[in-house]
Structure 1
């Protein structure tokens, strides 16, 4: 389960790859892939080569992913209803 994330944190707060991965509940490698693909906005690199990601970018990415999942679920439910997979006869084992 992802750790609690305070979306009201200051816009300028920068997160490490490890912190971003914990918030998104994904691997560090996946966060690096997202960063390399430009899906997390402007990622800064420190003098020692460590990447820092804006907390706001992580919050935006997470919100977009949740919205996409909701939309996909709604589409799947509509398709299932259109195919009458939820009719009362099917629920009772009759076809």
Structure 2
């Protein structure tokens, strides 16, 4: 379960790959893929090569993904309703 993310944290706060993975509830490898693809803003590297990602960019990405998920769910519900899959006359396969 992702830990609570404090969106009010200082704008310049930088997060590790592991912290971002915890916030987004994904694996670290996926975060690296997102970072390398430029989807998490400007990623800085420490002297030893570890990536640091801006907290504000993580929050932006998280909000965008939640909005996409809500939109997809609403579209699926509309399609299902249009196909007659919602309603009291649908049998749920119970005997």
Q: Distance in 1 between matches of 2:59 and 2:41?
A: 11
Question: TM-score of the superposition, structure 2-length normalised?
Answer: 0.92
Aligned residue pairs total 93
Q: Residue in 1 aligned with 2:51? A: 51
Deviation at 1:88, TM superposition (A): 2.4
Q: Distance in 2 between matches of 1:20 and 1:92?
A: 40
RMSD value over aligned CA atoms? 1.3
Structure 2 gaps of 5+ residues are none
Question: TM-score of the superposition, structure 1-length normalised?
Answer: 0.92
Structure 1 gaps of 5+ residues are none
Instruction: Sort the Cα spacing of 1:44 and 1:85 in 2 relative to 1 into closer, same or farther, 3 A.
Output: same
Q: Residue in 2 aligned with 1:8? A: 8
Residues 1-95 of structure 1: pairs in structure 2 closer than 5 A: 1-91=1-91
Q: Distance in 1 between matches of 2:76 and 2:86?
A: 12
- CA offsets 1:20-57 (integer angstroms, 9 cap, x no match): 11111111100000001110010001111011000001
